[in-house]
Chain A
Amino acid sequence: MRDMRFTIPGQSLNREPFIDRIPDFQKKCEVMITDRGYKCKITNIVPLTSQEKLFLLRIVDPMERELFNFRPGQFLMLEVPGYGEAPISISSSSSNQEFIELCIRKAGHVTSAMFEARQGAMVSIRGPFGTSFPMEAMRGYDVLMVAGGLGIAPIRAPLFWIGNHRDWYKDVRMLYGAKEPSQLLFNYQFEEWKKVSNVNLMTIVEHPDDSWKGRSGMITALFDEFTIDQDNTFAIVCGPPVMFKFVCSHLDRLGIPMNRMFVSLERRMHCGMGKCCRCMVGSTFTCLDGPVFDYWSVMNLKEAI
């Protein structure tokens, strides 16, 4: 009798990453990521507020460290072994191969576990995933960045990029709003951004306290204080969903074309690879087609913001 077993022997599934050295923004992420994460050591923890901390991670394996290349605006899946995975946007300079900075708010299961972590703890990352801000396309233009609250975290990456390529861009302005003065993150870097990166930084808080001497009000109030060259400006907007509506419609009224406004959407991804559908907005995946969308696409997506 013939052998009726049909086993396919040694189906070796090699999913080691193949790397496109120059990822193309227009294409989807070229880097193939295994389900095996890159092991990272938490080298430093900077407490920012009671709810937010900045974590500095260093990939342990030098080979993997070299493979991990990202572009401003992309996110990674942070794994705290035993607790789970959460999507976190990368908020360090993309030219910095040594460290990855993640600004994390204590919000859920995984981030709470991360908050308990001490220096030297080992976590794992997968990524980078998603689309990025078109930094090359902005060359020769003014750049307007609008951040609200924790929206500063993904905006720091393009900010560092601009600092490294300052002569590419003309006038760079950054608006940053928060609820309270104590919630303004990275205030120790404000002077550096202003002086070294030559960024025109304007801050505003919604509920000022006695020590606050700056502006107060909604972030849209800042638009009255300067003029925008609407034909030569790219805008990057990051913040809570409510802010997108106000800021983007305001910028739209000012005359910035919708395809030059970029927003970074927030969803709870579970796989990061366009499979689990948890991050679906309308008919697009936030993890593959996003998280950076131009405002035109977001306008056409239902239930996006």
Chain B
Amino acid sequence: MIYKVISKPEFRAFVDALVSANTSYGPRQVDTSSQGEPIYQFMPVTSVSDIAFDYTVTASSAKHLLMPFRDELSRFSFSNGDWKQQVDYEAQPIVLIGLRPCDISAINTLDEVMLKGPYPSPYYLARRKNTFIIGMDHLPLPDCFCKSMNRHTVNHGFSLFCSDIGDRYYLAINSAKAFSCLKEFRIEEPSDEDNCLLIERRKLIKHSFETNIEVSGLPVFLDIEFDSPIWQKWGNKCLSCGSCAMVCPTCYCYSVEEQFDLDLKGSSRESHLYSCNLIDFAQVAGGHNFRPRNGDRLKYRYYHHYRGFAANDNHQICVGCNRCGRACLAGINPKDVINDLRLERESCVTCVSPFPDKA
């Protein structure tokens, strides 16, 4: 990692050059919410003026640029009672601009899931290797809880990371390609003042988090609370629509479906990003459903995110961006569910306290 400093106009010139030469995605305002607040999404950009550098947070994550909602895995072509299968791993190079530390963390988590284990995914690998990521730090929204998940800073997984220090950006350069691209522009060695400003900026971000979730020891809590009525309570609210999984930066569960072409001369096998909250997620042939109730499926999602599964080494995969909380139509957010879960046990009156006099 190399650290440099670049002035903001020069940085815009750099981004402009990068954007004009590559397929690029950056935050753009796409709509305005009913409260009058702008809604941002990662959208294709063609010049630097398209990019809203001062955006708060996007409604959807950048996940779908690495794992598209629909991804063709293979293609069959039929002829004379026989068929041929084609598998294409090629991916077009893309530039992602303006990802937040939590988004980059989420991509690192996806890397772990998709690229480790006995069967690494070549589709993901091809996209990941051909992705150039420019990260930017930001002041958290009131409902972000990245700090609780320890994802408010990121040390790897990007090509270039920019910290805003007044009229300049403090750059962390993490790839040779990024460095050689930047050579054309005026970058300077960071001075002592810049270093101090960076530390100040980090402190400011760290202390700006208003929402905190106590996640220490959460896996044990979740195991104890497997049969808790809390899940049914939140399950009754849940509409099983799957919005949370669609906006989540680390939800990667998918289904594989196959469809004939309209001319019946071929067919394509596609992976569709899926949600464990949808009713048929755990249904098997013959109609038996292993998780028939809303509460069961909601619980399963929280288990995946806060207890972790074998594939990701039992790490918590939630990054604390609270996109699911904002997207949920029923107003369910992780902070409330987890606090509810903790409170139920910690304020339980029937449990015998080992220190009765202190209770």
Interface residues of A (CB under 8 A from B): 1-8, 11, 13, 15, 28-30, 32-37, 39, 79, 81-86, 105, 107-108, 111, 120-122, 124, 241, 266-268, 270-271, 273-278, 280-281, 283-285, 288-289, 302-303
Contact = CB atoms under 8 A, between A and B. Distances in A.
Nearest to A41: B82
B286 A8 contact: no
Contact of A303 (B254, B274, B291): B291
A270 B271 CA distance: 9
B125 A13 contact: yes
Contacts of A271: 254, 256, 271
3 closest A-B pairs by CB: A273-B119, A107-B285, A4-B21
Contact of B258 (A85, A107, A268): A85
B275 to A, nearest CB: 10
B129 A283 contact: no
Contact of B22 (A1, A4, A32, A36): A4
B314 interface: yes
Contact of B87 (A35, A120, A122, A284): A35
A84 B311 contact: no
Contacts of B74: 35-36
A121 B83 CA distance: 10
B81 A11 contact: no
B269 interface: yes
A81 B118 contact: no
A298 B309 CA distance: 16
Interface string B40-83: 00000000000000000000000000000000011010100111
A144 B2 CA distance: 64
Contacts of A241: 288
Contacts of A278: 253, 255, 274, 281-282
B252 interface: yes
A109 B21 CA distance: 46
B190 interface: no
A274 B119 contact: yes
B257 interface: yes
B303 A122 contact: no
Interface string B194-226: 000000000000000000000000000000001
Contact of A37 (B85, B288, B309): B85
B166 interface: no
A164 to B, nearest CB: 28
Contact of A11 (B85, B130, B254): B130
Contacts of B260: 82
Contact of A276 (B93, B129, B181, B255): B255
Contacts of A283: 303, 307-310, 314
Contacts of A273: 117-119, 121
B14 to A, nearest CB: 9
Dominant SS among interface residues on chain A: loop
Give the interface SS of chain B, mostly helix, strand, loop or mixed. mixed
B236 interface: no
A147 B61 CA distance: 47
B117 A81 contact: no
Contacts of A268: 282-285
Given A2-B181, A274-B118, A285-B311, 15 more contacts: A4-B18, A4-B20, A30-B118, A81-B78, A81-B85, A82-B258, A85-B269, A266-B284, A273-B117, A274-B311, A275-B252, A276-B253, A276-B256, A277-B304, A303-B290
B83 to A, nearest CB: 5
B282 A122 contact: no
Nearest to A83: B258
Contacts of A121: 81
Contacts of B121: 273, 275
Contacts of B296: 303
A275 B93 contact: no
Contact of A13 (B89, B183, B310): B89
Nearest to B268: A82
A274 B117 CA distance: 8
25 contacts: A1-B17, A7-B93, A8-B93, A11-B90, A11-B126, A15-B89, A28-B118, A36-B74, A81-B85, A84-B269, A107-B285, A108-B286, A120-B81, A270-B256, A271-B254, A274-B117, A275-B113, A276-B274, A277-B309, A280-B304, A283-B308, A285-B309, A285-B310, A288-B118, A303-B296
Given A276-B271, A285-B310, A13 B126 contact: yes
Q: Among B90, B118, B254, which residue has the most Cβ atoms of chain A within 10 A? A: B118
Contacts of B311: 274-275, 285
A6 B284 contact: no
Contact of B17 (A4, A8, A81, A83): A4
B254 A270 contact: yes
